[in-house]
Amino acid sequence: MSDTESQAEIEPGDRSEWESAQQQLDRDWYALDESGAADDTHNPFADYVEHDSQLEVKRISQQTKRITARQAQYNQDNEMWVNNRLQQSGIVQAMGVDDDDEMEGNRVHLLVHDLKPPFLEGTVLTKLLDPVKTVVDPTSDLAVIARKGSGLVREQREKRERMKATRDAVNMAGTVLGNVMGVEKDEGEEPQEPTEQAEPEPVEPARKWTMREQREFLPAFACRDDLLRVISDNQVTVIVGETGSGKTTQLAQYMHEAGYTRHGMIGCTQPRRVAAMSVAKRVAEEMDVELGAQVGYAIRFEDCTSKQTQLKYMTDGVLLRETLTRRDLAQYSAIIMDEAHERTLNTDVLLGLLKQIAATRLDLKIIVTSATMNAQRFADFFGNAPVFTIPGRTFPVDVMFSKSPCEDYVDSAIRQVLTIHLSQPPGDILVFMTGQEDVEVCCEALRERLAAIDGAKPLVVLPIYSQLPADLQARIFERSSTRKVVVATNIAETSLTVDGVRYVVDTGYYKLKVYNPRIGMDSLQITPISQANANQRSGRAGRTEPG
């Protein structure tokens, strides 16, 4: 508002007072400017200074340290706790109702973590030299013993290396280096032929059950109708059955008898090649057909199938390669994933592919067989698929544990086998080792120690591992009047039924494929077995008789 407008709004009676006030204000201003000193008593502008001082005091008060939200919450909690204690003691009584009761509502605690992925922090996992941990507690007794290995195997390895060095030195006779070193050729000594172990004498059982009687004796036969009903009502079914229940050999036959092979083959995957071959041979015998015709198998480098094949047993790697050419697996009407609890790389990839195929092929039946402790995981993976349990085991099995950890698992297994052979009733023995070297050392040491015992009954020692020729692997299935000891790797853990096995000696270890950062590739590492593997191994003793 300008001075002219303010003067127009003043009434004529007050104009004279206003003009005199303005003149006095101008005189004071010029008088203050000429004197050069301020008069606080008669200073018409002192009110502005006081106002500035008040603002300065307010600004300084605002710069003081405030209480944080955390401290305020702490003070509030402390005050509420003190009030609660006073009310509980009876000293103070609450006169009103507090609607803000901390006991009625749940407090929300928000924790914020500043996490960064390893590649942003500059960590390169491929440059770490620490091996991958396969156990929860690396300092446990079993983990320490697994890292140390077997002393007997190490001793036999050094012995073989010394013998090889000796033979190499002998073979230098007649060569230029041998002549320089003075090695003479011994013409009188002839090489000795290695001694071979006597073949087991075949023996016929007192009464041979027919295939039909053996099939009807299995626990899976009692729940055949219920099992087929569950498979018919659901696209994906998870089947849980103990070892010896017949799920591996009977499930595919039941589905074939129910008519599932009219629209395609029934494929059954096995984790190992020897399991696929032996199961296919067993099913062909039960169906009284030729192996390779109606029932066949397919493994790496060997395909024993034909155009008439309706039941096909194969390794999971073979089925995985078939998905490259036929993504929808149209040639199959049903897929059985046997022993899925082993969780190999091929099995996990196949489960993911089958889940995708099931969304497009509603006519495809998927059956997953697993151990008891892992069944619910597969059911959740396929969207709460039903779990069908085949009850009962063929024969009871007594499980006995060692009282203390065995420092040398190979030597302890050999002593246990000799104890069973010398003190227990007749029955074949199955020993689980970690690898081919352990199996060979165990067989050799077992023969030597048995020969040193006077009056001991004969014992047939048979090894089995994946690199063993097929004709030598088949020897473990032959019955004989002499007690057999089958020393095997985890190849005999699943889907193999060795008639006559009554005793199982489990070392508690196996070799697991683990990435080794020192060499930049996968390597086999000895590690303790899981509970699922232990239950699977104990079931080998109860397949044909009590164990």
Higher pLDDT among residues 527 and 61, named by residue: 527
Q: Is 510 left (phi over 0), alpha (psi -120 to 50) or beta?
A: beta
Helices (H), 68-171: 69-89, 141-148, 151-171
Residue 406 above 80 pLDDT? yes
SS3 of residue 368 by DSSP: strand
Residue 207 above 70 pLDDT? no
Q: Which H helix or E strand runs over 523?
A: strand 521-528
Q: Which single residue is written with the structure tokens 């992925």?
A: 117
* 35 confidence band (pLDDT: 50, 70, 90): very low
Measured CA to CA, the distance from residue 236 to residue 384 in angstroms comes to 9
State the pLDDT at residue 181.
Answer: 64
Phi–psi pair at 494, nearest 5 degrees = -125, 140
State the pLDDT at residue 186.
Answer: 56
Higher pLDDT among residues 493 and 401, named by residue: 401
Q: Note the pLDDT tens digit of each residue in 320-342.
A: 998 888 888 888 999 999 888 87
Q: What string of H, E and C letters represents the secondary structure of 388-406? A: EEECCCCCCCCCCCCCCCC
Among 315, 329, 323, 321, CA closest to 366: 329
Residue 258, class by beta-carbon neighbours within 10 Å (0-12 exposed, 13-18 middle, 19+ buried)? middle
SS3 of residue 323 by DSSP: helix
* 198 confidence band (pLDDT: 50, 70, 90): very low
Higher pLDDT among residues 334 and 191, named by residue: 334
Residue 241 above 60 pLDDT? yes
Higher pLDDT among residues 218 and 509, named by residue: 509
Q: What is the mean pLDDT of the chain?
A: 78
* Portion of the chain with pLDDT greater than 70, in percent: 76
State the pLDDT at residue 196.
Answer: 46
State the pLDDT at residue 117.
Answer: 74
Measured CA to CA, the distance from residue 7 to residue 18 in angstroms comes to 9
Among 277, 270, 275, 278, CA closest to 344: 270
Return the domain boundaries, the chain: 220-390, 409-542
Q: Note the pLDDT tens digit of each residue in 469-481.
A: 777 777 887 777 8
Phi–psi pair at 195, nearest 5 degrees = -75, 135
Q: Note the pLDDT tens digit of each residue in 135-164.
A: 888 888 888 888 888 888 888 888 888 888
Measured CA to CA, the distance from residue 226 to residue 230 in angstroms comes to 6
* 274 confidence band (pLDDT: 50, 70, 90): confident
How, if at all, do strands 509-516 and 521-528 pair?
A: antiparallel
How many C-beta atoms surround the C-beta of residue 52 within 10 A? Answer: 10
Higher pLDDT among residues 217 and 297, named by residue: 297
Q: Note the pLDDT tens digit of each residue in 497-509.
A: 677 788 898 888 8
User: How many residues are given for the chain?
Assistant: 547
State the pLDDT at residue 335.
Answer: 92
Contacts (Cβ under 8 Å, ≥6 apart) of 469: none
Measured CA to CA, the distance from residue 302 to residue 467 in angstroms comes to 15
State the pLDDT at residue 100.
Answer: 59
State the pLDDT at residue 8.
Answer: 52
SS3 of residue 416 by DSSP: helix
Topology adopted by domain 220-390: Rossmann fold (3.40.50)
Q: Are 236 and 384 in contact (CB under 8 A)?
A: no
State the pLDDT at residue 353.
Answer: 92
Residue 112 above 70 pLDDT? yes
Mean pLDDT in residue range 93-119:
68
How many C-beta atoms surround the C-beta of residue 132 within 10 A? Answer: 12
Measured CA to CA, the distance from residue 55 to residue 51 in angstroms comes to 6
Higher pLDDT among residues 167 and 311, named by residue: 311
Mean pLDDT in residue range 47-60:
73
Q: Note the pLDDT tens digit of each residue in 415-440.
A: 998 988 888 888 888 888 888 888 88
Higher pLDDT among residues 316 and 129, named by residue: 316
- Tell me, yes or no, if the pTM score tops 0.85: no
Mean pLDDT in residue range 334-358:
87
Higher pLDDT among residues 217 and 298, named by residue: 298
Measured CA to CA, the distance from residue 311 to residue 267 in angstroms comes to 6
Contacts (Cβ under 8 Å, ≥6 apart) of 123: none
CATH architecture, domain 409-542: 3-Layer(aba) Sandwich (3.40)
Measured CA to CA, the distance from residue 446 to residue 191 in angstroms comes to 25
Least confident of 46-50, 193-197, 480-484: 193-197
> Integer distance in angstroms from the first to the last C-alpha of the chain?
112
State the pLDDT at residue 125.
Answer: 58
State the pLDDT at residue 268.
Answer: 92
State the pLDDT at residue 194.
Answer: 41
CA angle 352, 355, 358 (to 5 degrees): 150
The CB-side HSE value for 370 (13 A sphere, CA atoms) comes to 22
Q: Note the pLDDT tens digit of each residue in 356-374.
A: 998 888 888 999 988 666 7
* Portion of the chain with pLDDT greater than 90, in percent: 3
